[in-house]
Amino acid sequence: MGVGVSSWQLANAVARTGQLGVVSGTALDVVVARRLQDGDPGGHVQRALADFPLPDVARRVVDAYLRPEGRGGEPYRPVPRLGLRPDQHRDELSVVGNFVEVWLAKEGHSGLVGINFLEKIQMATPAAAYGAMLAGIDVVLMGAGIPREIPHLLDELAEHRPGTVTVDVAGGESGHVTLDPTTLAPRDALPPLRRPTFLAIVSSHVLAQYLNREDSTRPDGFVVEGPVAGGHNAPPRGKLVLDETGQPVYGPRDDANLEALASIGLPFWLAGGYGEPEMVKKALESGAAGVQVGTLFALSRESGLLDPLREELLLALRAGTLEVRTEASASPTGFPFKVAQLSGTLSDDAEYERRPRLCDLGYLRQPYARANGQVGYRCPAEPVDVFIRKGGDPEGTAGAKCLCNALTSDVGLGQHRKDGYVEEPMVTLGADLAGARRLDNEHWLHGGNTEGWTATEAVAWLLREVAVAPTDPNPVASGV
């Protein structure tokens, strides 16, 4: 669900029902820095940091970013961008941001909370995972790539040993990013940690079988994501073919073989097109441990989406005009990306053309080898001439959108630039809206209001066809 849409409020509400509430783990360093600069509304960040086990680290972050009276319309202060060179402040901010989101999601209950990371954002992973573990995260999920190093990373970080992730460098040798927890505090000051469960998000049984081959790459289970799921999708297998509307064509080859998955012997959850009670029942009957659902919860009241955006989505859903497109070139990662078509957002061609091309957050930048052997960074959404000068393929710039800035705008944390430009949002949802329409209709029939449903109501609705009470082991996971 992008940045902050699968919020701590949403995950907390779902976890209280006995299901797995999942927070988005993307860009939580910039999220916590911007919340602090906005004055920390509600005091939530500072309440979480009062329980942070490394008080000196928390103090440095608060001192750097907190503006008790807010920004007064000034632009947000930048945060350090991801890179291969070590940066203590960047690591501390990431650790704190992930701790805060997970701690708040777990506050006040004993339910399970997960965090979802993108494999494509490799340089963020060690510090982000450690921060989540300091808050007691129960489950780590990762997709948008091949997360073969994550089981070992979690093993190492749980023992406060240096955790390393390999980073792809275009045209050169791979680099590495390492977090050594003892750079944050002496080892004897670090609290005992529990190694979380790891679920790899895959689109095919072939990838699941590959990850299962070795102890060092084997996850504890899988989320099997179909092509109608929101956010990033795996590209279609074989040569990319676009339909008459410019969307990638998926076929039978892109459907996971559930029998082959079940034969691996690890639990799996099904995602993409499973947001209806009958589909939950079908998933369980197929051997799945449950389902992961995004769109129902992105449209729920606890969603991190700005109220005007969520209200506009609900109005379009009720009018039957809401369209979600799979855009082959929107994401700088090269993966197809689901985009809800809303006027006034970057899904609108006029808004896209109006936005100045720039890359100042840089989560999806690709490291590349310069002619002099040093590592540079480039992004298809940055100015075209700059991208080409860095050796990028100009064809990759067509239609590329700045997801980093757009997705932070979805949750009210968009940048206000000195020239007066305010970053516009862009919303991602799943393409299967049947469940959302049904739940909305039934919510109205039973006396609901225009604000829509709560996460608790969504969980109860999803479970109504199965013999599982909301307090039993979780067949439903929310948020991606």
pLDDT tens, position by position, 68-99: 999 998 999 999 999 999 999 999 999 999 99
Report residue 399: phi and psi, to 5°: 80, -5
- What is the per-residue pLDDT for 411? 96
Residue % of the chain over a pLDDT of 70: 96
Dump the DSSP string for 346-392: TTSHHHHHHSPP--SS-TT-EEEE-TTS-EEEE-TTS-HHHHHHTT-
- Whether the CB-CB separation of 216 and 264 falls below 8 Å is answered with no
pTM as predicted = 0.94
pLDDT tens, position by position, 204-221: 889 999 999 999 999 999
Q: What are the tokens at 362?
A: 């840089």
Dump the DSSP string for 39-108: T-GGGHHHHHHTT-S-HHHHHHHHHHH--TT--TTPPPPP-PPP-SS--HHHHHHHHHHHHHHHHHHHTT
**Rounded mean pLDDT, 367-380:** 94
- What is the per-residue pLDDT for 165? 96
Rounded to the nearest integer, the mean pLDDT of the chain is 92
How far apart, in whole angstroms, are the C-alpha atoms of residue 450 and residue 448? Answer: 7
pLDDT above 70 for 472: no
**Rounded mean pLDDT, 307-318:** 94
Please report which confidence band the pLDDT of residue 277 belongs to, taking 50, 70 and 90 as the band edges: very high
**Rounded mean pLDDT, 92-121:** 97
Residue % of the chain over a pLDDT of 90: 81
- What is the per-residue pLDDT for 479? 60
Please report which confidence band the pLDDT of residue 447 belongs to, taking 50, 70 and 90 as the band edges: low
**Rounded mean pLDDT, 408-431:** 93
- Whether the CB-CB separation of 427 and 340 falls below 8 Å is answered with yes
Where is pLDDT greater, at 100 or 395? 100
pLDDT tens, position by position, 226-261: 888 888 888 888 888 888 888 889 888 888 889 999
How far apart, in whole angstroms, are the C-alpha atoms of residue 101 and residue 18? Answer: 19
pLDDT above 90 for 419: no
**Rounded mean pLDDT, 369-380:** 94
Ranges 19-33, 236-250, 257-271: which has the least confidence: 236-250
- What is the per-residue pLDDT for 254? 84
Q: Which helix (H) or strand (E) covers residue 31, if one does?
A: helix 28-37
Q: What are the tokens at 170?
A: 């275009």
- Whether the CB-CB separation of 134 and 55 falls below 8 Å is answered with no
Residues 6+ away with beta carbon under 8 Å from 186: none
pLDDT tens, position by position, 141-181: 998 889 999 999 999 999 999 999 999 999 999 999 999 99
Dump the DSSP string for 427-455: ----S--HHHHHHHHHHHHTT--TT---H
- What is the per-residue pLDDT for 445? 59
How far apart, in whole angstroms, are the C-alpha atoms of residue 258 and residue 282? Answer: 12
Measured in residues, the chain has a length of: 480
- What is the per-residue pLDDT for 470? 47
- What is the per-residue pLDDT for 233? 87
- What is the per-residue pLDDT for 480? 44
